[in-house]
């Protein structure tokens, strides 16, 4: 009986662990949205827009403000592959895969070279806000989830 139990339960537990690991986003090179110098950790997260945002410690999730930190959280959803882009973040137009660029570790496409050029001309926080701010995130029709 013990052998039968082990033969059934252990493989089921392993399968469940593999499924959970497969659903978890890769956090390689992903930084905490409140402390960008520290690595994000899988066990330090909060639910956000149907996905999860990750932090470096137990204190950061407590300080997370979904309104104040929306741009960084939206960026992290894209960088971790949880959010999939549907439209251009500037115009709301259909995506042209030839316009793809990477912004701080997150791939983004645009409808045309004009929109791509506007974002490439911006730097740092302005560039991130243009593509991942709440208005742009909505216009880009990002879908979070499976």
Question: Is 4 exposed, middle or buried, given 0-12, 13-18 or 19+ CB atoms closer than 10 A?
Answer: exposed
Within the chain, residue ranges assigned H as helices are 2-23, 59-63, 70-79, 113-121, 124-132, 134-139
Token pair, residue 24, equals: 């978890």
pLDDT of residue 26: 85
> CA-based angle 123:126:128, to the nearest 5?
90
Token digits of residue 93: 């137009």
pLDDT digits (tens, 9 = 90+) for 67-92: 999 999 999 999 999 999 999 999 99
Query: How far is it, in rounded angstroms, from Cα 92 to Cα 24?
Result: 29
> Model confidence at 53, in pLDDT bands (50, 70, 90)?
very high
- Please compute the mean of the pLDDT values over residues 4-13 and round it to a whole number: 47
Report the percent of the chain where pLDDT is more than 70.
83
All residues at 6 or more sequence positions from 9 whose CB lies less than 8 Å from its CB, including other chains: none
Q: Given this model, what pLDDT does residue 25 score?
A: 82
Residue 11 pLDDT exceeds 80: no
What residue ranges do the domains of the chain occupy? 86-144
Region 105-124 average pLDDT? 97
Q: What is the mean pLDDT of the chain?
A: 88
Q: Is the pTM of this model over 0.75?
A: yes
């Amino acid at each position: 009986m013990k052998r039968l139990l082990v033969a059934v339960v252990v493989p089921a537990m392993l399968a469940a662990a593999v499924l959970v690991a497969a659903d978890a986003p890769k956090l390689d090179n992903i930084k905490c949205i409140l402390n960008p110098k520290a690595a994000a950790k899988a066990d330090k997260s909060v639910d956000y827009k149907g996905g999860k945002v990750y932090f470096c410690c137990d204190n950061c999730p407590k300080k997370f403000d979904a309104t104040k930190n929306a741009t960084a959280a939206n960026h992290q959803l894209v960088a971790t592959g949880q959010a999939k882009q549907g439209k251009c973040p500037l115009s709301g137009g259909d995506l042209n895969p030839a316009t793809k660029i990477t912004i701080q570790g997150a791939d983004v496409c645009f409808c045309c070279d004009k929109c791509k050029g506007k974002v490439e001309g911006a730097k740092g926080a302005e560039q991130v806000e243009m593509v991942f701010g709440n208005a742009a995130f909505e216009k880009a029709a990002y879908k979070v989830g499976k």
